Structure 1
């Protein structure tokens, strides 16, 4: 039986008509900084091997922060924003968050990766539905899928397929990488189901049995005039308890 998050993920992906396209696959060594900023599109980074830091500058509703990434981790940036992965734990100078430094080279064969190097698969998301702005408003501006999360067991198998495809022909990147990354995004949404830090308010409601019926009704009949009173009545609560 699907979890509430899985069912909602299916609804999201069906209505968004998600399509991903590959940007580049390769590896960095030494001093470098990568970014998919500047293209005005949602994007992703999948760490194929090695480790790095992902930097996100302060925004209108968030503080600047960094996060360590290891092989098998994936970052999905669901809207355009300055950001960069780099080997340096210190953030770049203000205004350089979208800069790209260093040279990306073709990925090495498995087991022959350069010490200290980083393998990276990057690309973009396109949402072909008119619901894009509305639905993406229900999600965080970025989501991280960790390779060691219990909910990511299936994602690890997809990651291994991505890594295998990335190493086939450095001069002709596999189109399957983009398709596999779309599937990886499903597991990323699933990760929201168990992460209080990442889960936005609406998503967190999916873990509250009392509200599941309400969310299902809103999704089924979005044209209804959903007032506090009608929502409270549907879940058999007083207005005061519902608001609390």
Structure 2
């Protein structure tokens, strides 16, 4: 079970989009918060990222050079500019190529040029998967000097499609943006310090916790207990529970419940499966027990959640 892919898919609420941003000094863009996550890739030139005061406290401006990638975990507002002192203007609506998720923005004067590839992912930040929720607010990666070649290749492919949309781009671009997100997170996981024994980077590689996570993701409907999950690792119940909680951030049963509800919410959003089927897939023997548990987690009944999700999709 690819837990990283599953965790991201469980949060997705819409299709991603990408914008080619061209700035000529002096230029500055104030980007408002978005419901999801975002990224910027410097294709040419360089710029600065300035977290807004009400978004990331006490965070210094970050210099981006050609080939750099920055990932904004929760879509918080920030500023892109040629220099930290340049006044920023609100971003105008991007001009999108008809029928595609590809847009363009031009800003600034007549000085040095910077070209960026910017994008966003519509993710449910109300109930983020802990793998995503515990990421740094900003992830800064470099693809210079041959670092992260797969990420660099994905950037080049996406940049080519955005620069020159052709037949098929409407289907290619969302897939490339999804792939880019996975490459960003894979690169970040690879850059974790050797011996870092905490967090999801360690959990996904841990010989005890990783198999338990995979079992929960593969069969959320199974009647897992702490004992049965611990039995897969060869540890005692107490030792397994301590190790799981330390790395994942919550106890095994709490994570199992979270993933069951996440699985159910995804089925309600993306399928027409009857509630009895959704309940069974989430490990509940009756619709009543499932509905009660779901309302406790999401604040509304399963049917209401499904209707709201459909209206949100229609309005998007």
Name the TM-score class by shorter chain: 0.5 to 0.7
Match of 1:119 in 2: 115
Q: Does 1:147 align with 2:148?
A: no
- RMSD (Å) for aligned C-alpha atoms: 4.1
More helix by share: 2
In 1, Cα distance between equivalents of 2:32 and 2:125: 23
In 1, Cα distance between equivalents of 2:145 and 2:234: 35
Contact map agreement 2:41 2:67 (CA 8 A) in 1: yes
2:128 to 119, 126, 133: 133
Gaps of 5+ in 1: 107-113
Match of 1:83 in 2: 78
Relative to structure 1, the CA distance from residue 15 to residue 241 in structure 2 (aligned partners, 3 Å threshold; closer, same or farther) is closer
What secondary structure does 1:79 align onto?
coil
Q: Give CA deviations for 1:7-55 in whole Å, capped at 9, x if unaligned.
A: 3223234434463113x31311112222432444432222111112222
What secondary structure does 2:28 align onto?
coil
In 1, Cα distance between equivalents of 2:73 and 2:148: 19
In 1, Cα distance between equivalents of 2:75 and 2:29: 15
Match of 2:48 in 1: 53
In 2, Cα distance between equivalents of 1:72 and 1:66: 18
Of the structure 1 ranges 26-35 and 181-190, higher mean CA displacement relative to structure 2 is found in 26-35
Relative to structure 1, the CA distance from residue 26 to residue 236 in structure 2 (aligned partners, 3 Å threshold; closer, same or farther) is same
1:24-103 matches, within 5 Å, as 24-57=19-52, 63-89=58-84, 99=90
Task: Say how many residue pairs are matched.
Answer: 219
Q: Give CA deviations for 1:120-162 in whole Å, capped at 9, x if unaligned.
A: 12232124x7996235335444433421487721222222223
2:218 to 206, 217, 220: 220
Relative to structure 1, the CA distance from residue 158 to residue 214 in structure 2 (aligned partners, 3 Å threshold; closer, same or farther) is same
Q: Does 1:236 align with 2:213?
A: no
Query: 1:118: Cα distance to partner?
Result: 0.8
| Bigger relative CO (Cα 8 Å, ≥ 6 apart) | 1
Match of 1:201 in 2: 199
Match of 1:109 in 2: none
Q: Does 1:12 align with 2:12?
A: no
Q: Give CA deviations for 1:86-120 in whole Å, capped at 9, x if unaligned.
A: 2225698xxx8x9559xx539xxxxxxx8732101
Query: 1:178: Cα distance to partner?
Result: 4.4
Gaps of 5+ in 2: 93-104, 244-316
What secondary structure does 1:235 align onto?
coil
For the pair shown, the structure with the greater C-alpha radius of gyration is 2
Query: 1:190: Cα distance to partner?
Result: 0.9
Query: 1:218: Cα distance to partner?
Result: 3.1
